[in-house]
Structure 1
Amino acid sequence: MNKGSNLIVVSAVLPIHITKEKGEYSVQISPGGLVTALKQVLHRRKALWIGWAGSEKITPKMKNLIFEEGKKEGFLLYPVSLTEKEIDHFFNGFSNGIIWPMFHTFQSYCRFEPEYWTAYKEVNKKFARYIKSISTENDLIWVHDYHFFLLPEFLKKLGLKRKTAFFLHIPFPNPELFFKIPWRVEILKGLLNYDLIGFHTFLDRKHFLDCIDELVDGVNVLSTDPITEIKYEGRSIKIGVFPISIDFEYYNSNAEVSSYENFPYKNYRVVLGIDRLDYTKGLLQKIKSFRRFLEKYPQFHKKVILVQAIAPNIKKLPEYDELKKDLEHLIAETNGYFGTPDWTPIHYLPKRMKFRELINLYRYSDACWVNSIKDGMNLVGKEYIACQVENKGALILSEFAGAAAELKDYACLVNPYDIEGCSEALHRVFSKDPNMKIKKMINLRNHIKRYDISWWGNTILETAFGKKIVDFPELEEDIPLHELLKSF
C-alpha cells in the first residue's frame, strides 16, 4: 500500500462479542468465516475496521474496550451505532429478509417491504458519513458483503474521492431471480460506483455482468480475463474472481498436534457435518440421504455414523425456528428407526464447536459432507482438507457450493436434491480404494496450501491498487455434466 495510507475494512458487524456480567462489560473477538479470513489478511497491516458492535448504545468505556481488543489482533476497531429500527429493518428486513434468500435461490422467503429499502439506504448513508470522519483520500476502503451495495454512491455524494474495493461473500443470482427485486437497478448502479468488485466464482461474475447488460445502459466491456474491466460513466471498474480460502498452515499445524485419544468416535467410521442452522445448507436433504444410505446398505449398520454439528443462527427469523423443529424431528425419527441399544446412527451436536474439538473431528473423521443448496464458497471443506495430515479422508461436496468450482476434480461432488445420488456417494466413499483417496486428498491439500487466505487477500488488494496479478487458480464458469456424473 502507498505510504501514509490506511486500509479501512467495512463490514456490517464488527468481529466482537460484548457481554455484561455484574455490571462490567467485556469484549471478545467472535468466531466466523469472514472474521477468521480477515484476521489473517489484516495481520501486521495498518488497518482500521468499522461496523456495528452488536449493541444499540455504545458508551465511551465500551468503545475503549473494543479498541483495545482490536489492537491485540493487529487492527483498530471502530463501532458504528444503529437504532433499534435500523437494526430490525436493515438486518432482519432488507439484508436477511430479501437479499440473503433471493441470492441463495429461496425467493419464497423474501419480504419486499418499502420500509426495508429505506432503512438499507439510511444505514449505507450512515456508514458513508462515518468513513468520511476517519479516512483520507489516500486510504483504500475495502467493503464486505451484501449489506453495502450502495455505500460508494453515498461516499460520492459526500464529495469523497476514495479508492474502493468490494467483495461479495454470497452467490450472485442469475437475472431471472435478480430481476424480481423492486430496487434492482438502484442496486446495480450503486455497485458500479466501486473501483473493484470481487466474486467467488466465474458463474457469480457472469450473472452480475448479465444483469448489468440487461438493466444498465452505457456499460462497455474493455477486457475479460483474468480481470474483467468495464467502462461506465467515464470510470473504469475492475470485476474479478477471487475464491476465498483459509489459513492452511494454521489448521494443519493444529491438526498435527491433535490427539486420537481425544477423538470420541473411535469405534466407527465417521461422516462429519459442520454447519450453521440455515435453509441454504441442505440439512434436511442430508439427513434424508443418510437415512437412504442406511436403508440401501445395511452392511454399514453399526459401522458408520453421521456426526452433525449445527451452530445456532443469529438471524431472528421464523424460517430458522421451523427448520430447527423439522431437522430435530427427522434426526430423532431416523435414530429411532435404525438405532440399537449400542449404536446411534446420527450424533446431533446442536452447538458451536470449540476450536480444539473441531480440529480433532476434522483430522480423524473419514469423510466431511458439505451439502449446500447454495453457498458463496463454504470454507468447511477447505478446513477439513487442511486438517487431513494423513491424507486419508474424503470430501463430499455439493456442486452448488462455490468451492466446487475449485475442488471438483478431487472431491466427491453431489447434488443435494438427489437423495439416491447422495446415498450412493456415501457408499462410494466407504468402498473406494484407500490409495485413490490418498491421491485425491494430496491434490486437494496442495491446492488449498497454494491458494490460501493470504493469496486471497493479497490478490484483491494488489488488484485494487493496479498491480499485475498472474497467479490464479484454474476455475471453470460451469461444471460440465459429464464431470458431475463421474464416479468419485
Structure 2
Amino acid sequence: MERLLVVSAILPVHITKENGDISVKVSPGGLVTALKQVLQNKKAVWIGWAGVDRVSPKIREVIHLEGKKEGFLLYPVALTREERENFFDGFSNGIIWPLFHTFQAYARFQPEYWKAYVSVNRKFAGLIKKVVSKNDFIWVHDYHFFLLPEYLKKAGVKNKTAFFLHIPFPPPEMFFKIPWRVDMLRGLLEYDLIGFHTFIDRKNFLECVSELTPVKNVNSEKPVVQIKYKNRRIKVGVFPISIDFDRYNHLAQNAKKPDHRTKIILGIDRLDYTKGLVQKLKAYRYFLEKYPQYHCKVKLVQAVAPNIKKLPEYDRLKVEFEHLVSEINGTFGTDRWTPVHYIYGRIPEEKLIGYYRYADICWVNSVKDGMNLVGKEYAASNIDETGVLLLSEFAGAATEIGEYTLLVNPYDIEGTASAIYRALTMPQKEKKSRMKQLRDHIRRYNIKWWGNCILQTAFGKKIEDFPFMENEIPLHETL
C-alpha cells in the first residue's frame, strides 16, 4: 500500500496546556490552510510540531483523535523551548525569512541557530523513519527543512521525496550572505523534486546552485526542468499555489453585505514587514489628500492578524502602523466618517466572505511575497464580478494573474494612489471583464490542480491515488 506522508513545521492542530488542562486550537497560517484544502478527505499522514515540548500519551491521543476529525493521521514531533527559540525564532524566522524576503537588516547570524536547525531536521528525520513504510511518498513543505532529505538518507530512508518552498527564493547576492549556504544547498539537492511559486524563484535557486555544479536551463520557460548533481537527476519545477475556488464561490452565495455606507477598500494581512502595511497607509493618506471628492465616500477596511512569530520587528511595526491609522483618522475623519476601519485580529470566516463579495477593491500591497492568496480568495468570492484587485507587483501572484488586476509598486506612493482612483472610476464593463477572467483562471488553476501537478511530477500520482489507510503506526512507537 502506498501512502502520502506530509511534513510541515506545524501540524494543523495546536495543543496548549494550562493548569493541567489540554486545549486544542486550529493552527493559523496559509500553509496549513492550503494543505488542508488539497489533502481533504483523509488522504495523508501528517508530521509536524503540535505546540508542546513533550508528547505524553494523553496529548498524543488527543492529537490523534483531532487529526481524524480533520481527516488525517497526525504524528507530533516534540520540540524543547530552546529548540523552538533557536529553530523557529532563530534560524527559520530570524535568518531565512528576512533574507529570502530581502530584509537583510533583520537577519541575525547566530551559530546556535544553525545548530538548532541541524538538530531539528535530524529529529524530524528520526520520526519519519519510525512512521514511513517502504512504498510511501514523502512531501515536505517550506524553509524549515532544507536539510531533511540528507538526514533521511543517512537514516536509511530511501523513499521518493518532494519539496515545496512557500516563500520566495532570493538571488545569489542575498542567499550567499548565509554562512551555511553550501550546506543548505547540498541538503536541498537531496530531494527528488524541488518546487517554487514562480519562474523568478526557480531562476534565483538555479543561479545559486550553479556555484556548486554546472546548471543548464536557468531561464527555461518550461514548468519543470532537470539538473544533474552527484550522478542524480533532480526535477526543479514552478507550481503557483492556489485555493479551493469552489468552496469560496459557494460560501459567497449567502454572504451578508457589510454594514458600511461607503465604498470599501479591503485589506487582509498578517502583521509582517513583508506585507507593505506602512506603505499602504501612506499611499491611502496621499489618495485622500489628492482626491478630496472621495472624503466620506470611501473607507479602508484593514484587518491585521497577529503574527505568531514573537520578534521585536513586529512590535515596532505594530506601533508605527497604529500611529499612522490614528493620524489619518484624526486628520481626515469626521463625526460620521472614519477613513480607516482598523481591525486587529482575524475576521471570522463568515464575515470575511461578506467583505470579499462586496468590497469594491481588494488591496494586496506586499513588498515581497511568495504568492499571497488573499487576491485569489477575493476573486473566488466576488461572484457579482464587480470588484477590482489592486495587486503588488512584488507578490508572487503578480506573475500569474497580474494581467487581470491593477498592479502597483508599494514604494510608489503617488502611483498607488492613482491606481486607487482608477479602480474607483473604472467602467463597470471593464471591471466585469477583468474579474470574470480572473475568476475563470483561478477556477481552472485551483488548489487541487496545484497539488496534483506536484504529486504527478514527483511521484506519478494524484491526490485521489492516496486513499485513507487504517493500518497506522501504533502511537506508542513514535517519538
TM range (shorter): over 0.9
2:344 maps to: 350
Classify the secondary structure of the residue corresponding to 1:25: strand
Question: What pairs with 1:364-383 in structure 2 (closer than 5 Å)?
Answer: 364-383=358-377
Q: Is this contact kept in 2: 1:218–1:233, CA < 8 A?
A: no
TM-score, normalisation: structure 2: 0.94
1:273 maps to: 267
Choose 51-60 or 312-321, whichever is displaced more.
51-60
Distance 1:282 1:80 in 2: 34
Shift of 1:37: 1.2
1:264 is the counterpart of 2:259: yes
Distance 1:160 1:438 in 2: 52
Shift of 1:162: 1.1
Distance 2:423 2:452 in 1: 36
Distance 2:243 2:21 in 1: 35
Out of 244, 250, 253, the position equivalent to 2:250 is: 253
What is the one-letter code of the residue matched to 1:182? P
2:40 maps to: 43
Classify the secondary structure of the residue corresponding to 1:408: helix
Shift of 1:467: 6.8
Distance 2:364 2:423 in 1: 14
Shift of 1:26: 2.7
Question: What pairs with 1:56-455 in structure 2 (closer than 5 Å)?
Answer: 56-213=53-210, 215-217=211-213, 225-260=222-257, 263-265=258-260, 267-455=261-449
Shift of 1:58: 2.1
What is the one-letter code of the residue matched to 1:432? M
Q: Is this contact kept in 2: 1:103–1:173, CA < 8 A?
A: yes
What is the one-letter code of the residue matched to 2:383? V
Per-residue Cα deviation, 1:63-120 (whole angstroms, up to 9, x for no partner): 1111111111211111100111101000000000000000000000000011101110
Shift of 1:151: 0.2
Shift of 1:179: 1.1
Distance 1:16 1:403 in 2: 28
Q: Is this contact kept in 2: 1:41–1:457, CA < 8 A?
A: yes
Any stretches of 5+ residues in structure 1 without a counterpart? 469-488
Question: What pairs with 1:27-38 in structure 2 (closer than 5 Å)?
Answer: 27-38=24-35
1:483 maps to: none
Shift of 1:217: 2.6
1:478 maps to: none
Q: Is this contact kept in 1: 2:223–2:239, CA < 8 A?
A: no
Per-residue Cα deviation, 1:422-477 (whole angstroms, up to 9, x for no partner): 00000000111111011000000000000000000111111111479xxxxxxxxx
Distance 2:31 2:349 in 1: 16
Q: Is this contact kept in 1: 2:37–2:244, CA < 8 A?
A: yes
Distance 1:105 1:204 in 2: 13
Distance 1:15 1:275 in 2: 20
Classify the secondary structure of the residue corresponding to 1:225: coil
Any stretches of 5+ residues in structure 2 without a counterpart? 463-479
Distance 1:286 1:209 in 2: 33
Distance 1:381 1:372 in 2: 11
TM-score, normalisation: structure 1: 0.92
Choose 76-85 or 39-48, whichever is displaced more.
39-48
Q: Is this contact kept in 2: 1:220–1:231, CA < 8 A?
A: no
What is the one-letter code of the residue matched to 1:65? V
Residues 218 and 425 (structure 1 numbering): CA distance in 2 closer, same or farther, change over 3 Å? closer
What is the one-letter code of the residue matched to 1:178? F
What is the one-letter code of the residue matched to 1:350? Y
Distance 2:44 2:409 in 1: 40
Q: Is this contact kept in 1: 2:256–2:351, CA < 8 A?
A: no
Shift of 1:226: 2.8
Q: Is this contact kept in 2: 1:29–1:69, CA < 8 A?
A: no
Per-residue Cα deviation, 1:219-268 (whole angstroms, up to 9, x for no partner): 566987231111111111000000000000101100111122xx121x10
Distance 1:224 1:202 in 2: 8
Per-residue Cα deviation, 1:185-219 (whole angstroms, up to 9, x for no partner): 11111000000000000000000001111x21355
Structural RMSD (CA): 1.5
- Equivalent pairs counted in the alignment come to 461
What is the one-letter code of the residue matched to 2:138? I
Distance 2:399 2:143 in 1: 22
Shift of 1:17: 2.5
Shift of 1:20: 4.4
What is the one-letter code of the residue matched to 2:14? H
Distance 2:338 2:403 in 1: 33
Classify the secondary structure of the residue corresponding to 1:125: helix
Shift of 1:18: 2.2
Distance 2:156 2:356 in 1: 49
Structure with larger RCO (C-alpha < 8 A, sep 6+): 2
